[in-house]
Chain A
């Protein structure tokens, strides 16, 4: 472990934002739009409202138990056997999320920018780069995220600014899309789009002080949520409901659509570079977190050598789905639906048990 206690609030903030906010720019929106039509931008609101209390409760538990990360906490509350089991489930969830997401990102890169390269090559390069990034350790990751954050956000907001003229606000109406019940149920079922927040708690002790981690994570998750909403709102006001259902990668479609005055047309590559940068950072963080989880579960203190086999596994597992549509709309959707109740309920369960055992009184 190369953790010298260097990370502070701002680095944690940047890491969380990298991990979660890029959901605004992948194909998650089209997953939602399939069900809720033009009400889909409300789904993350429901999801966030449902899952955020659980996240806060989890943070509260970590605060009370002090000096433990996610998995150590679970083990100390639930005992060794059940604790290990739950931890392994969480690891499997994280691993599957990483795998399916990475396939999704690789497909985006392939379809839009490298149509002739084979998927497997892009996959190897993509995860390979993420592996080298992750190998540098959590401090370098945190610092890199912090440096990259302004550039990435500036490019994203430039895109918003350029597309403002094409937005027609009336398109959010009829306000509930396919209906309020659909939005509520989808919001709860897909609450796991914020599951990364829980995976992140494995790094609870990464910061210089625990309070710094708490502050960074909570603030960043709120900002990431607002960013997701803002982008989804843009997608619906630019594309309208019948079109947004059909678009697999709305972020890139918008980047292709905008132009910078009459002279600078076809400027999507500019945005693609920063998007790719953000995507790399997300997977660097993610890869590091799953190695950390694996290390904690099996008491491997020096877990960084695990990165290479895990990265390799991600590639192999990621290549299994037959095509990108199946990957996104069947596998990823199912995974989200399984994870959502788990992460909503787990903190409450832990809290009750801790309360019942009297551990919170200390």
Chain B
């Protein structure tokens, strides 16, 4: 008898652990959430891309022609509430733990309601701070529906690889929810969201690489989705877009963003009809020297150490062994970078009246408490009036594994 009572007591204690038990196969994992405006105030369309775990796994034989993901759209007032509505036609419990991206239509991002919606999303522990914010040119549900990756069909891997590679090359920003809240709540600086689209309407062919925003890249074949450039958010509301190149400058100037290296071209300084391709990499974060002046414009001195590896010289000018040519090339590269960066900074000062480089960090040590810092007002007073000077410092100029190009005169002898 005693044994029975003991057994029951133990079972009662042990089994309380099963309150939150849920089998893996009873859950559907959402990888991407899309949010769109509707005609009604306070109601939004939520699109969930739900991964099919059976596809792409070596262990499980997938059913015949099962798609890699299921996409559903429902109307609701917040991100979690809508999951319950979606359960009227999704068979399993919708779980947001593995969400990789939140897609917002540009229309919604530009409206005032955006901050409220995204705030309510972060209240639940299911949405992680590492989720990335993507702004789509079209509606978010169109974006998710049109996005048909060809090689990497598993949606979670697709987004992970796509975004991490594009970030390494600097054409899209690091746009986690974590960063969004820091910058928006900090009430200084601009937040950059990832800009993407599946519509390739107005393709531009300007010869210069990376001066595109998503949708403008001339492309044949492949997946229709382009991730390029960034959406600029000021105080939680989208105000503009940046091209891939401008996004890259934000990467260069911001020490909190990581960029590996990128390839770019520039006119050949000796034969301007040709273009030189080079690989830019930055091993150290930029040195930013901020001096605060209370009554006159503050000064910001930026020094950026960088390295260049020249990859292609179609003009066949001998730069590698000719000292003068080398110096000319060096000067041309530095000048080009400095000009472009200064122009971009000036644009941000006059047009946005704030910076996408997180430079308010450097202003903070000049204040003793937050009250004084907030009173000095980064957005309105410090940054738009600051005098910014940019210098690039080239640490290395490499020429790849070839010492010299073949002499065209001798070849065509």
| A111 B369 Cβ-Cβ under 8 A | no
- Given known pairs A112-B125, A174-B368, A175-B368, the reply for A243 and B182 (CB within 8 Å) is yes
| Smallest CB separation, B127 vs chain A (Å) | 10
| Smallest CB separation, B116 vs chain A (Å) | 15
- What would 20 A/B residue contacts be, using CB atoms closer than 8 Å? A37-B370, A38-B370, A114-B19, A114-B20, A117-B20, A118-B19, A121-B19, A124-B16, A173-B365, A175-B368, A179-B369, A242-B181, A242-B182, A243-B185, A246-B185, A256-B130, A257-B129, A257-B178, A265-B130, A266-B128
- Report chain A residues within 8 Å CB of B19: 114, 116-118, 121
B362 at interface, CB cutoff 8 A:
yes
B13 at interface, CB cutoff 8 A:
yes
| A253 B129 Cβ-Cβ under 8 A | yes
- Report chain A residues within 8 Å CB of B395: none
B97 at interface, CB cutoff 8 A:
yes
A80 to B128, CA, bound (A): 57
A171 at interface, CB cutoff 8 A:
yes
Contact of B185 among A114, A117, A240 (CB under 8 A): A240
| A256 B370 Cβ-Cβ under 8 A | no
Please list the 8 inter-chain residue pairs (A to B) with the smallest Cβ-Cβ separation, ordered nearest first.
A242-B185, A173-B364, A117-B19, A170-B361, A174-B367, A179-B369, A173-B365, A114-B20
Contact of B186 among A173, A174, A240 (CB under 8 A): A240
A125 at interface, CB cutoff 8 A:
yes
Chain A 107-149 interface residues, beta-carbon cutoff 8 Å to B = 111-118, 121, 124-125, 128
B337 at interface, CB cutoff 8 A:
no
Interface size on B, residues (CB 8 A): 32
| Contact flags B353-380 to A (C-beta < 8 A → 1, else 0) | 0000000011011011111110000000
B389 at interface, CB cutoff 8 A:
no
- Report chain A residues within 8 Å CB of B97: 266
Chain B 1-28 interface residues, beta-carbon cutoff 8 Å to A = 13, 16-17, 19-20
Contact of B128 among A38, A168, A256 (CB under 8 A): A256
B256 at interface, CB cutoff 8 A:
yes
B164 at interface, CB cutoff 8 A:
yes
Residue picked from B98, B130, B369, most chain A C-beta under 10 Å: B369
Main secondary structure of the interface of B (DSSP, over half): helix
A178 at interface, CB cutoff 8 A:
yes
| B186 A177 Cβ-Cβ under 8 A | no
| B128 A257 Cβ-Cβ under 8 A | yes
| B365 A262 Cβ-Cβ under 8 A | no
| B370 A177 Cβ-Cβ under 8 A | yes
- Report chain A residues within 8 Å CB of B368: 174-176, 179-180
- Report chain A residues within 8 Å CB of B373: 174
| B367 A243 Cβ-Cβ under 8 A | no
Chain B 362-413 interface residues, beta-carbon cutoff 8 Å to A = 362, 364-365, 367-373
Residue numbers of B with Cβ under 8 A of A are 13, 16-17, 19-20, 97-98, 125, 128-130, 160, 164, 178, 181-182, 185-187, 255-256, 361-362, 364-365, 367-373
A239 to B181, CA, bound (A): 9
A117 to B17, CA, bound (A): 8
| Smallest CB separation, A263 vs chain B (Å) | 10
Interface size on A, residues (CB 8 A): 41
A259 at interface, CB cutoff 8 A:
yes
A241 at interface, CB cutoff 8 A:
yes
| B370 A240 Cβ-Cβ under 8 A | no
| Smallest CB separation, B388 vs chain A (Å) | 18
- Report chain B residues within 8 Å CB of A257: 128-130, 178
| Smallest CB separation, B95 vs chain A (Å) | 11
| B364 A168 Cβ-Cβ under 8 A | no
A243 to B179, CA, bound (A): 10
A173 to B376, CA, bound (A): 14
| Contact flags A37-62 to B (C-beta < 8 A → 1, else 0) | 11100000000000000000000000
Nearest CB to that of A173 among chain B residues? B364
| Smallest CB separation, A16 vs chain B (Å) | 30
What 14 new A-B contacts, CB under 8 Å, besides A170-B365, A173-B365? A117-B20, A121-B16, A121-B19, A124-B16, A125-B13, A171-B364, A173-B361, A175-B365, A177-B370, A178-B369, A178-B371, A242-B185, A243-B181, A265-B130
